[in-house]
């Protein structure tokens, strides 16, 4: 039984009485508390480490440990079995350490008894650090450096998505808000002036301003003119940033803007399908990424319909979880028609007092979907093929130059992303971050594109040396 589902608005009593077994999990997590993007390099803080470790511990207690509520069928409860877990994160000082911290919570040190080995000659070897377990994490080039950038567009380097996001800055909605909030932002200047100049303290930089003040509210004991920051003011700073970021990540009438969410959706299906196709071989897939990927997916999956909170930027250590489960006998691995999927979200650090809640996907009302309905719902917006990506993005050079003949079959490997059908890692560059940085600096669009091209090239070089699937960046 799922305690989370008890919280769900749309829980059906009949479901809670069925004998349910969880067979697989896909988790997409935001990093823990970090330093401000306005004071790079941005790093994970001690608080962030403990937040993410707390989340990992909760997931262990829920899905892995003996006696847990929803122990995954066949999961190794104590000593990690590497083949059962696929973890990946961009290589940086925030998301990568967060992923490692989460895994420490998931599979903590096993102690002296389990953490030892007897050699042929009888010598007993103790594992260091009380049986610490080492879990490899795949690096993804997408999102690399994202936590050092003030604004994350979250669209990879998809040409049409960049154009679409930038269109927001030309929309009447944006212009009106920028104008009407000018006085509000000016009033914040005494708080931020040591770092953010007056001509950048405006709605155009709503996230950077929010981020700087949010970090200060957590860490700075001597915020200048802190009396300005009443609860109402703080809420307004956050809400303006929410609006700004959501509109850059998703637009209902311009779906290309949400390319990050579309590629994420494809990865989620691929990851769960790896569990299905492998009959449970790799039941856990964990990815770390930034909030832009969340927001873009929220829009595409119509989660804003389920709860308007989904318009907001998710807090640190937030998680999206997809449970693959069955109500049939879990062994042998059930047929696809006996599989279901449930989406759960938790805003911020998960712990025993605050746990993920199930929400209905795709604007319908059932928090559980059959595997087939889930796949077809996701595939309405998922983009998982190089050729489809290139076509939708309007890209025809670089990795897209060779994709005129469409690759057949989508990658089911989930963990590699290097097959012919999958989106290459080079596609998931960091241009989004560059774009915004450029916006902040007041640089023209042409220059952003040039900067983006350079970044992509660097990523391509790196991609050759790395394994791991692309993570939607943001």
Ligand X SMILES: *[C@@H]1O[C@H](CO)[C@@H](O)[C@H](O)[C@H]1NC(C)=O
Which residues here bind ligand X, judged by CB under 6 A?
A: 12, 36, 39, 66, 77-78, 119, 121, 123, 157, 159, 175, 179, 190, 193-195, 197, 199, 215-216, 220, 222-224, 231, 238, 242, 252, 269, 273, 277, 302, 305, 309-310, 312, 314-315, 340, 347, 363, 366, 368-370, 375, 393, 395, 397-400, 410, 412, 426-427, 431, 442, 449, 452-453, 456
CB of 391 to ligand X, least distance (A): 12
Q: How many CA atoms lie within 13 A of 249 on its CB side?
A: 34
- Beta carbon nearer to ligand X, 59 or 371: 371
Q: Which secondary-structure segment (H or E) carries 64? A: none
- Beta carbon nearer to ligand X, 121 or 405: 121
| C-alpha distances in Å from residue 192, one per residue of 181, 208, 229 | 16, 10, 11
Ordered DSSP codes for 3-60: HHHHH-TT--HHHHHS--EEEEEEEEE---SB--TTSSSP-B-HHHHHHHHHHHHHHH
- Beta carbon nearer to ligand X, 49 or 203: 203
CA-CA-CA-CA dihedral for 295, 301, 307, 313, to nearest 10: 0
CA–CA–CA angle 292, 137, 409 (5° rounding): 70
- Beta carbon nearer to ligand X, 63 or 100: 63
- In whole angstroms, give the CA distance from residue 417 to residue 211: 32
CB of 62 to ligand X, least distance (A): 16
- Beta carbon nearer to ligand X, 287 or 413: 413
What is the DSSP code (8-state) at residue 185? H
CB of 392 to ligand X, least distance (A): 11
CB of 91 to ligand X, least distance (A): 19
Other CB atoms within a 10 A radius of the CB of residue 56 amount to 27
CB of 95 to ligand X, least distance (A): 19
CB of 440 to ligand X, least distance (A): 7
Integer Rg of the chain from CA: 22
- Beta carbon nearer to ligand X, 38 or 98: 38
CB of 322 to ligand X, least distance (A): 13
Instruction: Based on DSSP, count helices (H) and strands (E) in the chain, helices before strands.
Output: 18, 10
- Beta carbon nearer to ligand X, 52 or 137: 52
- Beta carbon nearer to ligand X, 93 or 242: 242
CB 253 within 8 A of CB 226: no
- Where helices occur in 193-336 by DSSP H, the ranges are 206-219, 231-249, 259-277, 291-300, 303-306
CB of 234 to ligand X, least distance (A): 8
- Beta carbon nearer to ligand X, 17 or 179: 179
CB 326 within 8 A of CB 186: no
- In whole angstroms, give the CA distance from residue 82 to residue 76: 10
CB of 269 to ligand X, least distance (A): 6
Tokens representing residue 194 in the block: 């040591």
CB of 92 to ligand X, least distance (A): 19
- In whole angstroms, give the CA distance from residue 351 to residue 417: 32
Q: How many CA atoms lie within 13 A of 447 on its CB side?
A: 9
- Beta carbon nearer to ligand X, 100 or 463: 463
């Amino acid at each position: 039984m799922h305690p989370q589902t008890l919280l769900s608005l749309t829980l059906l009593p009949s479901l809670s009485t069925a004998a349910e077994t969880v067979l697989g999990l896909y988790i997409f997590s935001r990093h823990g508390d970090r330093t401000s993007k306005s004071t790079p390099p941005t790093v994970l803080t001690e608080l962030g480490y403990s937040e993410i470790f707390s989340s990992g511990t909760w997931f262990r207690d829920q899905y892995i440990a003996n006696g847990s509520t929803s122990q995954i069928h066949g999961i190794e409860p104590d000593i990690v079995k590497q083949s059962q877990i696929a973890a990946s994160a961009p290589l940086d000082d925030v998301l990568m350490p967060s992923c490692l911290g989460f895994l420490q919570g998931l599979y903590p040190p096993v102690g002296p008894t389990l953490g030892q080995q007897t050699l042929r000659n009888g010598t007993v070897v103790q594992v260091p650090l009380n049986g610490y377990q080492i879990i490899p994490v795949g690096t993804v080039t997408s999102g690399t450096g994202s936590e050092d950038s003030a604004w994350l567009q979250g669209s990879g380097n998809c040409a049409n998505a960049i154009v679409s996001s930038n269109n927001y800055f030309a929309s009447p909605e944006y212009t009106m808000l920028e104008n009407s909030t000018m006085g509000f932002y000016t009033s914040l200047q005494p708080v931020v002036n040591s770092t953010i100049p007056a001509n950048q303290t405006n709605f155009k930089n709503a996230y950077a301003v929010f981020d700087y003040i949010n970090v200060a509210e957590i860490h700075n004991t001597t915020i200048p003119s802190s009396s300005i920051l009443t609860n109402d003011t703080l809420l307004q700073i956050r809400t303006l940033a929410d609006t700004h970021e959501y509109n850059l990540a998703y637009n209902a009438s311009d779906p290309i803007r949400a390319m990050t969410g579309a590629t994420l959706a494809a990865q989620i299906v691929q990851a769960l399908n790896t569990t299905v196709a492998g009959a449970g071989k790799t039941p856990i897939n964990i990815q770390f990424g930034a909030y832009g990927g969340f927001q873009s997916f929220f829009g595409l999956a119509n989660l804003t319909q389920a709860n308007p909170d989904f318009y907001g930027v998710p807090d640190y250590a937030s998680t999206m979880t997809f449970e693959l489960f069955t109500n049939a006998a879990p062994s042998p691995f059930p047929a696809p028609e006996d599989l279901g999927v449930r989406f759960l979200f938790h805003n911020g650090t998960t712990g025993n007092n605050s746990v993920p809640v199930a929400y209905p996907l795709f604007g319908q009302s059932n928090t559980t979907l059959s595997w087939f309905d889930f796949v077809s719902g996701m595939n309405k917006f998922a983009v998982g093929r190089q050729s489809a990506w290139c076509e939708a993005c309007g890209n025809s050079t670089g990795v897209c130059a060779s994709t005129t003949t469409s690759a057949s079959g989508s990658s089911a490997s989930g963990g590699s992303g290097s097959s012919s059908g999958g989106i290459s890692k080079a596609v998931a560059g960091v241009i989004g971050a560059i774009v915004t940085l450029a916006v902040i600096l007041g640089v023209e669009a042409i220059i952003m594109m040039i900067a983006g091209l350079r970044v992509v090239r660097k990523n391509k070089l790196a991609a050759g040396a790395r394994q791991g699937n692309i993570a939607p960046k943001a």
